[in-house]
């Protein structure tokens, strides 16, 4: 019995060690964030305390200072807008510089779009500069984007969980047990900085960010 208890305890320690570093950055602490090319403001909305990146030209990443992520889990709440072609927001990871990174992002205006083809373009993986969304859609139609399930209100907050496990990237929406998108990374980068992401002409609200860095 003692041996069994010891083995169980040892396994538990190994499981805990596999996620030995957890971070819950304060999105209203300017010392933890580096914003490029956008204005922003702090928000408190529906019991969510976070930040809103204002719309502007070009894509923008709000980088989290002092966090480097390889494998791990990213969770956050986000809110975009139900405006066709006017809301693109998500999260960038394995950032090498302002123009070289991977990202998962959402098009909330496609969550409930009556055009069924557009509904399958609600969540997107990109790896820029080589594999932006247009190159992926043309070369691999339907492989790096998908519909979301369950379907959130496109004008309201929704929860996102991104799991990075080697080449495999899984995206879950609103605490679903099944992923809305599963893809394999298209580059060999395996670690880098991370940050909140919005695209050209888009704003985005973010709250409750949690990072678990897996060893």
Q: Over the stretch 131-168, which tens digit does the pLDDT of each residue have?
A: 999 999 999 999 999 999 999 999 999 999 999 999 99
The single residue listed with the structure tokens 């914003």 is 35
CB 67 within 8 A of CB 196: no
Q: If you search the block for the tokens 């889990």, which residue do you land on? A: 73
Q: Does 122 map to a domain?
A: yes
Q: What are phi and psi of 92, to 5 degrees?
A: -105, 145
Token pair recorded at residue 102: 């991977």
Is residue 9 over pLDDT 90?
no
Inside any domain, residue 15 = no
* Overall average pLDDT of the 35-57 stretch: 91
Candidates 103, 105, 131; CA nearest to 202 is: 105
Q: Does 149 fall in a domain? A: yes
Average pLDDT of the chain to the nearest whole number: 90
Number of domains in the chain: 1
| pLDDT of 184 over the 50 cut | yes
pLDDT digits (tens, 9 = 90+) for 69-115: 999 999 999 999 999 999 999 999 999 998 999 999 999 999 999 99
Q: Is residue 7 assigned to a domain?
A: no
Among 112, 54, 50, residue whose Cα is nearest residue 83? 112
* Domain enclosing residue 186, as ranges: 22-214
pLDDT band for position 8 (cuts 50, 70, 90): very low
Encoding tokens for residue 41?
């403001």
For the chain, the straight-line distance linking the first and the last C-alpha, in angstroms and rounded, comes to: 31
Whether 74 is in a domain gets the answer yes
CATH code for position 45: 2.60.120.560
pTM to 2 decimal places? 0.90
Spatial CB neighbours of 70, under 8 Å, sequence gap ≥ 6: 164, 190, 191, 213, 214
Q: What is the CA radius of gyration of the chain?
A: 18
Residue 66, pLDDT score:
87
């Amino acid at each position: 019995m003692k041996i069994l208890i010891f083995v169980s305890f040892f396994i538990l320690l190994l499981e805990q060690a596999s996620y030995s570093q957890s971070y819950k950055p304060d999105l209203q602490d300017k010392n933890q964030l580096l914003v490029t090319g956008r204005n922003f403001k702090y928000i408190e909305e529906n019991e969510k305390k976070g930040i809103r990146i204002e719309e502007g030209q070009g894509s923008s990443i709000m980088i989290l200072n002092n966090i480097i992520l390889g494998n791990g889990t990213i969770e956050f709440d986000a809110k975009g807008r139900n405006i066709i072609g006017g809301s693109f927001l998500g999260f960038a990871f394995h950032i090498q510089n302002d123009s070289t990174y991977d990202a998962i992002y959402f098009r909330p205006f496609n969550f409930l779009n009556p055009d069924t083809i557009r509904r399958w373009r609600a969540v997107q993986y990109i790896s820029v500069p080589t594999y932006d969304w247009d190159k992926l859609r043309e070369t691999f139609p339907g492989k790096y984007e998908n519909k979301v399930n369950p379907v959130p209100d496109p004008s309201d907050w929704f929860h996102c969980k991104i799991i990075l496990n080697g080449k495999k990237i899984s995206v879950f929406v609103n605490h679903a047990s099944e992923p809305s998108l599963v893809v394999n990374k298209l580059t060999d980068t395996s670690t880098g900085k991370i940050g909140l992401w919005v695209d050209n002409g888009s704003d985005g609200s973010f709250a409750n960010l949690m990072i678990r860095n897996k060893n």
